[in-house]
């Protein structure tokens, strides 16, 4: 059953993350995402894992390192930056494994920033909105 397999993969990711820093959850126990990009980062992590780009052990180590780096620089540590650490961990993993260069990541961050500034307030931010695209 596809739904059952999807739940298992999600729960695997939640379990691995819980060993480092628990995923924010609602009263029903489901992961809580404050912004769409947080859910996308979660889904992207699952997709990269399923493609065999990293193991859960590597993922947990990367997330732990991202959180420790942030705490060392004064992270507010109130949960509001959780998925920023998540995204940092993904970026570090793909850089370390040579799947993408720092330059490519920087170019993509810049493109999203330009797209955000070019998007009317209240509209979804799409990479297609990057004026330099």
Question: Which stretches of 1-133 are DSSP H helices?
Answer: 2-20, 36-50, 56-72, 82-96, 102-118
State the burial class of residue 52 (Cβ atoms within 10 Å of its Cβ: 0-12, 13-18, 19+). Answer: exposed
Domain boundaries, the chain: 2-100
In Å, how far from its chain's centre is CA 32? 13
Collapsing DSSP to helix, strand or coil, 119 comes out as: coil
The pLDDT, as a whole number, for residue 1 is: 37
- pLDDT computed for residue 29 by the predictor: 80
pLDDT at 104: 95
**pLDDT surpassing 80 at residue 7:** no
Instruction: Note the pTM of the prediction, 2 decimals.
Output: 0.74
What residues contact residue 1 under an 8 Å CB cut-off, 6+ apart?
A: none
SS3 53: coil
For 56-112, how does the pLDDT look when each residue is reduced to its tens digit (9 = 90+)?
889 889 999 999 999 999 988 788 888 999 999 999 999 999 999 999 999 999 999
Q: Residues of the chain with pLDDT > 70: what percent?
A: 91
Beta bridge partners of 31: 25
Give the residue with greater pLDDT, 2 vs 126: 126
**Which residues make beta-bridge pairs with 25?**
31
What distance in Å separates the CA atoms of residue 8 and residue 66, rounded to the nearest whole number? 25
């Amino acid at each position: 059953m596809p739904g059952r397999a999807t739940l298992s993969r999600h729960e695997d990711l939640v379990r691995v993350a819980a060993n480092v820093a628990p995923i924010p959850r609602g009263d029903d126990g489901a992961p809580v995402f404050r912004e769409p990009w947080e859910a996308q980062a979660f889904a992207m992590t699952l997709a990269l894992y399923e493609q065999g780009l990293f193991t859960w052990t590597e993922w947990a180590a990367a997330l732990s390192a991202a959180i420790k780096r942030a705490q060392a620089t004064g992270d507010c540590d109130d949960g509001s930056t959780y998925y920023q650490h998540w995204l940092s961990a993904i970026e570090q993993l793909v850089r370390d494994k040579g799947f993408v260069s720092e330059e490519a990541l920087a170019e993509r961050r810049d493109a999203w920033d330009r797209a955000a500034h070019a998007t009317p307030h209240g509209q979804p931010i799409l990479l297609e909105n990057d004026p330099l695209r």
